[in-house]
Amino acid sequence: MESELTATSVFRRGRSGPVRGVIFDLDGVLVDSFEVMRAAFTLAYAEVVGTGPAPFEEYNRHLGRYFPDIMRIMGLPLKMEEPFVRESYRLADRVRIFDGVPELLAALRKRGIGLTVATGKSGPRARSLLDRLGLLGMFERVIGSDEVAHPKPAPDIVLRALDELGLGAAEAVMVGDAVTDLASASAAGVTALAALWGESDEDELLRAEPDGVLRQPPELLAWCPAVV
């Protein structure tokens, strides 16, 4: 399914003005952590719930949300969080950065664009992972879902990112690979861009009517001219 949205869509939709900041989701946008999440979820399910297939496909449909919120939605024990987090830390060396992301971040910083991360992970876990991958220093702030009152799809985490950047909603874009990312951005008045290079359901993301679509990381540069 092809989208007709382009890098100029935002201006046609009335959100005019230069982009001075980018808010990134983490998993599925900056890093490919899909198999690590599958392994951690499967082990946590077996350890807490018991035998039987772990419903990872259902879990995957809720990505972008905070893990405890997903457990509540799925009716699973909150006790799964401890082994899930433990295994996620243990397997962190299997997470890889998506091709083109380091170059994209460097180019954006060179253009004077402020960068933050707003993730469904907890703040400590997100910062630990980015530090391990050598990306932490690229961001002004990395904000986790445990560091706001209401995680995605509420606007709190995006509003917090704007505050950290010292920007208004019209001056930023958010890049996410989940419907909850797009909803959070839109609720905060921020341009919502759907990232399609990960494991996301493209049709589902397009049905959420993002302001733009990115099929590869470098395409974000068309939205972010150098700040003058």
Residue 13 near residue 211, CB atoms below 8 Å:
yes
- Report pTM: 0.90
3-class SS of residue 102 = helix
Residue 44 near residue 80, CB atoms below 8 Å:
yes
In the chain, where the domains are located: 9-32+95-223, 34-94
Residue 196 near residue 171, CB atoms below 8 Å:
no
The pLDDT profile of the chain, 228 residues, written as one tens digit per residue, is: 333 444 434 433 444 578 999 999 999 999 999 999 999 999 999 999 998 899 999 998 888 899 999 999 999 999 999 999 999 999 999 999 999 999 999 999 999 999 999 999 999 999 999 999 999 999 999 999 999 999 999 999 999 999 999 999 999 999 999 999 999 999 999 999 999 998 888 999 999 999 999 999 999 999 999 987
Query: Under CATH, what is the fold of the domain 9-32+95-223?
Result: Rossmann fold (3.40.50)
Residues annotated as catalytic (active site), given as ranges: 25, 27
